[in-house]
Amino acid sequence: MKKFLRSGYTTGACAAAGVKAALIYLTTGKVVDDVELTALDGTPLKIPVARVEKTSDGIRAEVIKFSGDDPDITNGASVFTTVRQIFGDDIIFRAGVGVGRITKAGLQLPVGEPAINPGPRKLIRNVAAEFNVGGLEVTISIPAGVELAKRTLNPVLGVEGGLSIIGTTGILRPMSEDAFKNSLVPQIDVALAAGLTTLIFVPGKIGETIAKRLNFPDGAIIQTSNFIGFMLEAAAERDVERVILCGHLGKLVKVAAGIFHTHNRVADARLETLAAYSAAEGLSAAEVKKILDANTAEDAAQIIAANHLERVYKKIAARASVRAERYVYGKLKVATILVDYAGNVLGTDDEKILQASTNF
């Protein structure tokens, strides 16, 4: 039986619901248990309100984030919205506890602004337009956001102090692969805005650790997860001059084989590729069979080391770079660094990049 996944609502929708609950209290004195909103795509939303109260700072409402069946780290977190009337007709947005501020160029908002994205701002303005109350100061807080933000890309993107208030419509549908891939792209925009034209693509923590050890700028280090091909395309579209692939042998050997989505359930030719390149370097048939029978790329690397064939890594790195350049039709240059779990550099096709990042 097909399971239908439940949708939820974004932190932006939570904040907008809090604003509406606060304005209802401000204009009528009523405390409501839920409010109705129209999402930016026209979908009606009914969002529960946990609490509304008057404080010394204004009217504060609490909404509990509900993510549906999306694995969102903010699910169950309290989103507090404090509304205060001010002179004029505009809305001023403030970042409370657990909501970040923009510290790097390249995002949707200027440096110094609260990390309350354009979608949520528009949703809140739409809500405010239902009430004739003049200017407002809206402060959004997510107390748990101080810690939760450490589990996001916000520190890399230059959002400091907490989470971003996000959402393009207000509806949170279970995250698709496309949504996750698109969430990685702003790293490139931030790096380019900082004047960096050579980027270090790392599929995971191992590559990131090596990249930092090689003294590459933190702002140039871009997490790709398994979506190396997608991120290469995004870089090429933005006229990035050069990408250095830096990651574990087990990931980047797949790129040498022309595999650009590196999750093992999509494609896996690690051992076959290592075996083929080792055979081309003179490894005996018996030893090639050992590589094919190995459990992991790390196991295969031990066989390669035992046969003193470490030179094979330079060939594999070079092939990964060639394949990556072909993938984006030569729109950017690529170099590759292969490493192991212990953090050792196994090989590269460009020795210059091992000399304390001389390209920067």
Q: Please report whether residue 359 resides in a domain.
A: no
Has residue 350 got a pLDDT over 60? Answer: yes
Are residue 145 and residue 220 in the same domain, yes or no? no
User: Is residue 331 in a domain?
Assistant: yes
How confident is the model over 291-318, as pLDDT tens digits? Answer: 999 888 988 999 999 999 999 999 999 9
Whether 2 maps to a domain, the answer reads no
Distance in angstroms (rounded) separating the CA atoms of residues 14 and 11: 5
Q: Which residue has the tokens 């209290």?
A: 25
| pLDDT tens sequence across 156-209 | 888 999 999 977 776 666 556 777 788 899 999 999 999 999 999 999 888 998
pLDDT in tens, 63-112: 999 887 666 788 899 999 999 999 988 999 999 999 999 999 888 889 99
User: Which of 344, 283, 351, 269 minimizes the C-alpha distance to 312?
Assistant: 283
Whether residue 160 is found in the same domain as residue 208: no
Residues 287-298 pLDDT 10s: 999 999 988 898
**pLDDT band at 115; cut points 50, 70, 90:** very high
What digits encode the pLDDT tens for the residues 206-260?
899 899 999 999 999 999 989 999 999 999 999 999 999 999 999 999 999 999 9
Q: Please tell me the total count of domains within the chain.
A: 2
Considering the domain architecture, whether residues 136 and 231 belong to the same structural domain is answered as no
Question: Domain boundary at 124, 145, 172, which?
Answer: 172
Range of the domain at 339: 177-354
Q: Does residue 4 register a pLDDT over 80? A: no
| pLDDT attached to residue 43 | 87
Domain shared by 113 and 237, yes or no: no
Q: Residue 173 corresponds to which tokens in the numbers above? A: 């549908």
pLDDT bin (cut points 50, 70, 90) of residue 356 is very low
Final residue belonging to a domain, choices 126, 153, 172:
172
Residue 193 lies inside a defined structural domain of this protein: yes
Quote the tokens at residue 76: 């169950």
Residue 106's region, left for phi above 0, alpha for psi from -120 to 50, else beta, is left
Q: Kindly state whether residues 156 and 226 are assigned to the same domain.
A: no
Q: Kindly state whether residues 126 and 36 are assigned to the same domain.
A: yes
The verdict on pTM exceeding 0.75 is: no
32 pLDDT more than 90: yes
Say whether both 152 and 201 belong to one domain: no
Average pLDDT of the segment spanning 45-57: 95
Backbone angles phi, psi at 201, to 5 degrees: -90, 120
Where does the chain have alpha helices with state H? 11-28, 118-128, 145-148, 154-157, 177-184, 186-193, 205-213, 228-237, 249-256, 270-280, 285-292, 297-306, 312-327
In whole numbers, what is the pLDDT of the chain averaged over residues? 90
- CA 112 to each of CA 91, 95, 104, 158, 263: distance values in angstroms, whole numbers, following the listed order: 17, 11, 9, 10, 37
DSSP category for residue 153: S
**pLDDT at 263 (0 to 100):** 84
Among candidates 173, 171, 166, which has minimal Cα distance to 46?
171
Is residue 132 in some structural domain?
yes
- Tell me the C-alpha distance between 338 and 287, whole Å: 22
Q: Would 203 be classed as within a structural domain?
A: yes
- Whether 190 and 299 share a structural domain: yes
Q: Quote the pLDDT of residue 175.
A: 55
In this structure, the answer to whether residues 17 and 137 fall within a common structural domain is yes
Where helices occur in 1-114 by DSSP H, the ranges are: 11-28
Say what the pLDDT of residue 276 is: 97
Q: Band of the pLDDT at 132, cuts 50, 70, 90? A: confident
Q: Are 140 and 195 within one domain?
A: no
* Residues 60 and 22: beta-carbon distance below 8 Å: yes
Closest CA to 82 of 146, 18, 12: 18
My answer on whether 239 and 349 are in the same domain is: yes
Contact 97, 141 (CB under 8 A): yes
Identify whether residues 102 and 212 lie together within a single domain.
Answer: no
Tell me what pLDDT residue 93 has: 97
Instruction: From 172, 194, 211, give the residue that closes a domain.
Output: 172
Kindly state whether residue 96 falls inside one of the protein's structural domains: yes
Tokens 């005996």 correspond to: 284
CATH number of the domain bearing residue 83: 3.30.2110.10
Confidence of residue 140 (pLDDT cuts 50, 70, 90): very high
Residue 78 within any structural domain of the chain = yes
CA–CA separation, 199 vs 221, rounded Å?
6
